[in-house]
Structure 1
C-alpha cells in the first residue's frame, strides 16, 4: 500500500509531491457501480471481475491476498484494481488465496501457499498474481487446495490432501506441485473444491466426488456401506447424467441438474440442506422442493440459489447475517426463503465467504451482506458490523480512493466513530502531540495541537472524505464526515 509523506505546508515542492501522489493512484481503471460480472469471497476479502476484463479486490490483506506486492496487514474499503490487465475471464478463491484465469488459458494464483495450494513447488506465500498453470479450461479453489481441468480434459490438483480430497489415490498430507487424479480420465468438464473434498462433472453429465465422508458430504453413501470415511479416488455419485453444477460448504453439498432440480446432501445442521428439517445427515442426494433453480452457491454453513425468475433464496445458518434476510442474525432457516422481493438477481458466488455473502443483479450492480469487520463487503460506510440485508458495493469517484482507500494498517493508531459528525476520539500507542486533517485534494484543512482527552471536533468540516495524520506517522487514516 502506498504511504503518504507530509512535509511542511509552506513548502511548494511538498505540496506538488502530495498532489502527484494522489494523481498517481489513478493510473488504473476507474471503479464504477456497474459492469460487474462475477464475485468470489474468501475469509475477510472479496474479489470481482468486471465485464471489461479487469480484476478488483477489497478487504483484509492477510498472506498478501490483495495482490499489492506486500504482506502488510492492510485493509481496503472499496474495490481496488489488481494491476492493469483487462483479459481476466474467471476467478475462484480459497480461504486466504485467489485464482484468476486469463483469456489465453493461463491460470494465476496468489496469497496463502502454506499447503502448496498454488502448486509452485514450495510453501511460500505469494504477494502478486503469479502464473501457476497453462491451457486451463476450468478450475476451482478449495479451502486449502486447487483443482484444474486442462484443455486435454485431464484433472489435476495441488495443496491440502489429508482426507484424500485431491482424488489422487493417496491421503498424503499435502502436495506443492500439481498431481493428476488417479483415473487419468480425459473427459472432465468442471470442478469444485470445498474444505475436505473435491467434486467434478464429466462431459457426459455425471458427477464425481473425492475426500472426507464423515458427514456424508461426498454423497456416496454411509461410511459403513463404503467401508471408509474418506474416498481417495474420484467416485461417481449415483448414475444420473444431467448434472449442471455443484456447490458446497464444509460439511454439506448442493447439486444442480440441467432440468432445474436442486439436490443436497451432507450434514443438515441449521437446516442447510433446505429439506424442511434441522439436524441429521443425508448420505446421498435428496431433492430440494422446486424445479426452477438456475444457479447455486454456499457458505460454510448456509446455502443459496437463484431461480429462473431472478428471485434469490437462502437457507441454513443465519449467523453474521449471511442469509441476507434483513436482520444480522436470522437464526436457522430450514427451507429456501426468498431474500427481499427483487427478481433481477443474475449470479452468486459458488462459494461465499465464511461470514459474508453477495451477488450480482441483471443491471450488473454488485451487492453484499454479512459480517463487515475488515471491509470485505465493500460498501464503504466505515461501519464494522453485521449487515443483514443486501447493500450495494460502492466506489469513490475521487482518484485517491478509486484505486486505493489507504485506510488502516495494523498500526497502534486509530480513530472512532467513523463515519463521524462532530467529536472523534483518537487512539495511539504514543502521546498525541499533533493531528492534521487533509481533504482528498491533499490540502490541509484543519490541525490540532495536543488535543484534550485525545478528542477532536470536526463539526466545522463539510460532509465528505478526509485523511487524518497523527503525530509524525507516514500513513494516514481515512475519515468520513457525515
Structure 2
C-alpha cells in the first residue's frame, strides 16, 4: 500500500464547538456548518476566522431563513438576508445588496432628458415609466413646470394641455424643454424669450403645450436638438423629422436657423432644403450648426468668425452649405467658445470620418484642434494619429477640451487643461491627443465634458464604472471633492446600480453635475444643488451633493 507522509500536519478533531471546552493549537471543530482549526490555546472564543481560529471549510448554516443568499464579503462567505417586495439585487461597490425598486410607474424613471452635450439650466427633467414628465430645480420662467414659478426641490409632474397625453422621449435645452410622443408630436414648456418653444409667440409656459405647426402640416418629428445653454440662455431648437428634414425656431442672430435671414423665428421654419439628414448638432450661443446626411455629407451654417464651418473663410452662412471636403462623415461636433459674459466667442469644430480619422477647424488658442500648435484653421485639417477613432466630443466654452474614443476602447484628450480635466497630473494644455493613465483605459464606451464658459470636467464611462477629472468646485463630478482642480481621473462615488444611462446637466458655467439612470428605474445625482435643489436629493437644507445620491421621486 502507498503511504503518504503528512509531515507535521496534526489535526485533532474535537467535534462541535462547545464554549465550555478549552481548545489547543491544531484542535478542529465544527460551528454553524463550517469547520475551524485553533491557531493557539483558546477558551470561550467563538470560531471566526482571525487571530484565534482559521477557517478550514466554509458551510452554509449561516443562512437562517428561506430566501437568504450566501455571498463572499471580500474576506469570508457571509449571509445576505433575503430582500423585500419590490427590491432588486444590485452590485454596490464589489458586493451585492438589495435596493428598492418602485412598482409604481409614476415613480420609476424611463429616461433622463436628452441634452446637447449638457443642458437643463438649474433644472433636471425625467421621463417616467408611465409616460409622464417630472422636473425639479429652478422655477424661473417656468423651467420646472411649476405654475407659480417656485423652485421645486423634489421631482414633480409637469402639467400638459391634454392630461392624457403620454410621451416616449424628452429633451432639455437651458430653461426650455421638449417632449415627444410616439406619433411624432412635440410638446414644449419653459423659457420662450426668442420663440424657441415654437408656438408663434414669446410667452413662457408652465404647462406643456403641443406645437401645432407640425400637426397642421402633417410633420412627424423623430428628435429634438436644443441649442446648448450658456450663461445667457438665448435659445433655439432644431427638429429632425422622421423623413430627414430639419426645422428650427428661436434666436437667429447669426443665421443659425438656416432660412436665409437673421430674424428670430417664433414658429418652426425649414432649414434650407435639407433632406435625408440623420443627425443635427448645434453649439451654444453664438450658434454654429452641423448636419450629417445619410450619404456621409456634411452641411454647415451659422456663426463662423473663427472659420469653424471649415469653408476656408470666416463668413457667416445663413443657409446650409455643403462642405466639399467630406463624403464619409459619421459625426460632427461644433463648439461656440463663449466666455461667461458671452463676449468674444472663439469656436471650433471636430469631424469624425468613417476611416477613423478626426478633422478639426476654427480657433486653436489652447490646442483644441489637436495639431500640436495654437494656429487657427479655417479649413478642416486632419489630426495626425495612428489611432482609429470611433467617437468624438468637445467642450463648448471659451476654454474647451476636445477628445475621441478609439476602437480599442481608449480615450484621448487635448486642448485646455485649466482644471486638470485631461487627467495629465498637471494643468498644462495639451496641443496633441494625450492618453491619460487609468484602469478605465481599454474599456471606454462614452465620454462627456461638463461645464461651459470654463469650469470643465471630463467624465468617462468604462464598463459599468464612471471616472472623472477636472472642475469640482460645486461637487460637480461626484468624487467627494469641492476642489476646483482635480488633475487625475478618480472613480465617481456612490454608484448604486447597473448603469442604463447618464449625462451632464446644468447651465453653461460652474453650476452643473451628473445624473445617472440605473436599469431598475432609479436615478442618482450629484453636483450643484445649494440654490435651487436641482439634484432632487434633498427636500430641504440644500447643499451641493459631493457623491451620487438617490433622487427622491
Q: TM-score range by the shorter chain?
A: 0.5 to 0.7
How far residue 181 of structure 1 moved from its aligned partner, in angstroms, is: 1.6
Matches of 1:281 and 1:481 in 2, distance apart?
Answer: 38
How far residue 209 of structure 1 moved from its aligned partner, in angstroms, is: 0.5
Deviations 1:212-266 (A, max 9, x none): 221101111114xxxxx21111001124211001112111001111111111101
Match for 2:367 among 263, 271, 279?
Answer: 271
Residue 119 of structure 1 corresponds to 198
Match for 2:358 among 262, 283, 295?
Answer: 262
Q: 1:150 to 1:38 in 2, by over 3 A?
A: closer
How far residue 480 of structure 1 moved from its aligned partner, in angstroms, is: 9.0
Residue 251 of structure 2 corresponds to 160
Between stretches 368-377 and 187-196, larger displacement belongs to: 368-377
Does 2:416 match 1:325?
Answer: no
Matches of 2:546 and 2:226 in 1, distance apart?
Answer: 39
Q: 1:276 to 1:58 in 2, by over 3 A?
A: farther
Matches of 1:59 and 1:391 in 2, distance apart?
Answer: 26
Does 2:308 match 1:308?
Answer: no
How far residue 185 of structure 1 moved from its aligned partner, in angstroms, is: 3.3
Q: 1:261 to 1:63 in 2, by over 3 A?
A: farther
How far residue 113 of structure 1 moved from its aligned partner, in angstroms, is: 2.6
How far residue 409 of structure 1 moved from its aligned partner, in angstroms, is: 3.8
Residue 188 of structure 1 corresponds to 277
Give matches, 1:281-296, under 5 Å.
281-288=376-383, 289-296=385-392
Give matches, 1:67-466, under 5 Å.
71-72=149-150, 88-89=168-169, 91=171, 93-99=172-178, 101=180, 104-127=183-206, 131-132=210-211, 135-143=220-228, 144-172=235-263, 174-182=264-272, 184-195=273-284, 196-223=287-314, 229-250=315-336, 251-278=347-374, 280-288=375-383, 289-300=385-396, 301-321=400-420, 323-325=421-423, 330-341=427-438, 342=440, 343-349=442-448, 352-354=450-452, 355-359=455-459, 361=461, 363-372=463-472, 376-377=476-477, 379=478, 381=480, 383=482, 385-388=484-487, 389-392=489-492, 394=494, 408-409=530-531
Q: Is the 8 A contact 2:414 2:432 kept in 1?
A: yes
Q: 1:248 to 1:480 in 2, by over 3 A?
A: closer
Q: Is the 8 A contact 2:310 2:361 kept in 1?
A: yes
Q: 1:296 to 1:205 in 2, by over 3 A?
A: same
Matches of 1:221 and 1:334 in 2, distance apart?
Answer: 22
Q: Is the 8 A contact 1:57 1:66 kept in 2?
A: yes
Between stretches 257-266 and 61-70, larger displacement belongs to: 61-70
Matches of 2:222 and 2:457 in 1, distance apart?
Answer: 26
TM-score (norm 2): 0.57
Q: List gaps (5 residues or longer) in structure 1.
A: 1-23, 224-228, 412-464, 468-474
The structure with higher relative contact order (CA 8 Å, sep 6+) is: 1
Q: 1:155 to 1:330 in 2, by over 3 A?
A: same
How far residue 106 of structure 1 moved from its aligned partner, in angstroms, is: 4.0
Q: Is the 8 A contact 2:255 2:261 kept in 1?
A: yes
Q: Is the 8 A contact 1:320 1:386 kept in 2?
A: yes
Between stretches 250-259 and 368-377, larger displacement belongs to: 368-377
SS in 2 for 1:119: coil
Q: List gaps (5 residues or longer) in structure 2.
A: 1-101, 160-164, 229-234, 337-346, 498-521, 548-553
Q: 1:479 to 1:188 in 2, by over 3 A?
A: closer
Residue 4 of structure 1 corresponds to none
TM-score (norm 1): 0.64
Matches of 2:196 and 2:280 in 1, distance apart?
Answer: 15
How far residue 396 of structure 1 moved from its aligned partner, in angstroms, is: 7.8
Matches of 2:431 and 2:464 in 1, distance apart?
Answer: 30
Deviations 1:122-147 (A, max 9, x none): 22344566544662224422242211
Q: Is the 8 A contact 1:62 1:71 kept in 2?
A: yes
Deviations 1:280-314 (A, max 9, x none): 32111111124511111111222122111111222
Q: 1:198 to 1:287 in 2, by over 3 A?
A: same
Q: Is the 8 A contact 1:75 1:407 kept in 2?
A: no
Q: How many equivalent residue pairs?
A: 378
| RMSD of aligned Cα (Å) | 4.5
How far residue 161 of structure 1 moved from its aligned partner, in angstroms, is: 0.9
